[in-house]
Amino acid sequence: MRLRALWLLLGALVLVSGAARAYDRGQFEDVPDDIRAWFKGVRSPTGAFCCDISDGHRTIYEVRAGGYWVPIEGVWWPVPEKAVVRNAGNPLGEAVVWYVSVRGNIEIRCFVPADAS
């Protein structure tokens, strides 16, 4: 009986975590197909997909001591080197950052500078 309850709990957690993934809620319907495809294809230097347009945020940035910094939720955060995407090009001409907020801490997944080539 305990094993069955554990499996039910585990199954529920899997369903909930799947629902928490990002999705396009239609707010980007006017985005051209080539830009949408670029967003969906960008990968971090570790090889992980950065996600799609619903997760990317256009941003300003600064370079401090050789590293990138971006403002997220009113606070400037350093961009980890492993998140900087330099070889994807940038059809927007604006910097884009992908991040998640976990218990008040920001985890930057990907960052494409405005002049990425």
Q: Which residue has the higher pLDDT, 9 or 17?
A: 9
pLDDT in tens, 29-77: 777 888 888 888 888 888 888 875 557 888 999 999 999 999 999 999 9
pLDDT in tens, 71-116: 999 999 999 999 999 887 888 889 999 998 888 889 999 999 998 7
Is 76 within 8 Å of 99 (Cβ atoms)?
A: no
Query: How crowded is residue 49: how many other Cβ atoms within 10 Å of its Cβ?
Result: 15
Predicted TM-score (pTM) of the model is 0.70
